[in-house]
């Protein structure tokens, strides 16, 4: 069986965005899940929803927002990454804004780790 150049190009066009999206998800989610457990949150989603409580969480939120922004910028080259990068950018920027507004100071029972 002989594979032509056209088939290889089609396969590369399909495989490249899929591989890039997988790398982006691993890049963002890999360390964040571990950090959420280190901060004492029961789940990763609980960590994303909570306002930052200390300086380490504020730094982590800014890092998450910047990672999302970088993935969005790469998304201008590979369109699927734009949508994937919006998720960490949204949650990271949200946590940074909450911290700058001082919203993490109030006792909110919904966002506290158990």
88 or 108, which is more confident: 88
**pTM of the complete model beyond 0.85:** no
The torsion of the CA quartet 16, 66, 57, 38, rounded to 10 degrees, works out to: 20
Q: Averaged over 85-97, what is the pLDDT?
A: 88
> What is the C-alpha separation between 2 and 111, in angstroms, rounded?
58
Per-residue pLDDT reduced to its tens digit, 46-90: 998 898 988 899 988 898 898 888 888 888 877 777 777 888 889
User: Residues 25-40: what's their mean pLDDT?
Assistant: 82
Q: Residue ranges per domain, the chain?
A: 5-105
Cα dihedral value 98, 38, 113, 26, nearest 10? 70
User: How far is it, in rounded angstroms, from Cα 91 to Cα 100?
Assistant: 14
């Amino acid at each position: 069986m002989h594979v032509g150049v056209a088939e290889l190009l089609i396969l590369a066009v399909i495989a490249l965005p899929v591989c890039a999206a997988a790398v982006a998800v691993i890049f963002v989610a890999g360390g964040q899940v571990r950090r959420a457990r280190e901060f004492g949150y029961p789940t990763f989603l609980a960590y994303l929803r909570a306002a930052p409580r200390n300086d380490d969480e504020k730094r982590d939120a800014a890092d998450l927002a910047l990672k999302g922004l970088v993935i969005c910028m790469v998304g201008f080259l590979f369109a699927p990454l734009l949508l994937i990068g919006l998720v960490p950018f949204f949650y990271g920027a949200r946590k940074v804004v909450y911290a700058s507004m001082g919203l993490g100071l109030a006792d909110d029972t919904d966002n506290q780790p158990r």
